[in-house]
Chain A
Amino acid sequence: MKNFTYVMPTSLEQVVELLPGPRDLKTRDRVKVLAGGQDLLGELKEHLVEPEQVVNLKGVPGLAALTQQAGAWQIGALATLAALEENAALRASHTLVAEAAGSVGSTQIRNQGTVGGNLCQRPRCWYYRHEQAVCIKKGGAECFAYGGLNKYNAILGGGPSYIVHPSDLAPALVAAGATALIRGKKGERTVELERFFTLPSEGAVTRENVLAPDEVLVRVDVPAMAGWKSTYVKFRERSSYDFALAAVAAALRIEGGKVAEARLVLGGVAPVPWRCEKAEKALVGRKIDAETCRVVGELALEGAEPLAHNAYKLPLAKGLITKALTKLATA
Chain B
Amino acid sequence: MRRMAEYRLEVNGDSLDVSAPDHWTLLEVLRYRLALTGSKQGCDKGDCGACTVLVDGKPWLACLTLARSVVGRRITTIEGLLPAHRANGGSGADPVQAAFDRCGALQCGFCQPGMILSAKALLAKTPQPTRDEMREALSGNLCRCTGYTQIFEAIESAVASELGLKPAARAWGAPPVSCAARKDGGA
Contact = CB atoms under 8 A, between A and B. Distances in A.
B64 A38 contact: yes
Nearest to A105: B140
Contact of A37 (B21, B69, B141): B69
A108 B140 contact: yes
A111 B25 CA distance: 17
Nearest to B45: A42
B23 A111 contact: no
User: Interface residues of B: mostly helix, strand, loop or mixed?
Assistant: mixed
User: Interface residues of A: mostly helix, strand, loop or mixed?
Assistant: mixed
B64 A37 contact: yes
Nearest to A110: B140
Nearest to B139: A240
A108 B23 contact: no
Given A34-B69, A107-B59, 8 more contacts: A3-B2, A41-B45, A41-B63, A42-B64, A107-B118, A108-B118, A108-B140, A241-B140
A6 B61 contact: no
Interface string B32-63: 00000000000011100100100100111101
Given A108-B52, A112-B61, A5 B118 contact: no
Interface in A1-32: 1-6, 8
B22 A112 contact: no
A37 B136 CA distance: 22
B65 A106 contact: no
The 5 A-B residue pairs whose C-beta atoms are closest, nearest first, are: A106-B140, A6-B22, A240-B139, A41-B64, A111-B58
A1 B138 CA distance: 28
22 contacts: A4-B22, A6-B69, A8-B69, A37-B64, A37-B65, A41-B45, A42-B45, A44-B23, A54-B23, A54-B66, A56-B69, A105-B140, A106-B49, A107-B118, A107-B136, A107-B137, A108-B118, A109-B46, A111-B60, A112-B61, A112-B64, A240-B135
A281 interface: no
A12 to B, nearest CB: 18
A278 interface: no
A109 B23 contact: no
Given A106-B139, A109-B46, A41 B60 contact: no
Contacts of A112: 60-61, 64-65
B49 to A, nearest CB: 6
Contacts of A6: 5, 22-23, 66, 68-69
Nearest to A46: B45
A207 interface: no
B5 A108 contact: no
A108 B69 CA distance: 16
Contacts, number: 87
A34 B45 CA distance: 16
Given A34-B66, A37-B69, A3 B59 contact: no
Contact of B25 (A34, A41, A58): A41
A2 B23 contact: yes
Nearest to B21: A3
Contacts of B5: 6
Most-contacted residue by chain B among A4, A6, A56, A106 (CB, 10 A): A106
Contacts of B55: 111
Given A3-B2, A5-B22, A108-B61, A58 B69 contact: yes
A56 B139 CA distance: 28
Contacts of A8: 68-69
Nearest to B63: A41
B8 to A, nearest CB: 15
Contacts of B58: 82, 111
Contacts of B61: 38, 108-109, 112
A33 to B, nearest CB: 12
Interface string A73-109: 0000000001000000000000000000000011111
B45 A45 contact: yes
A37 B68 CA distance: 12
Interface in B104-124: 118, 121
A105 B66 CA distance: 19
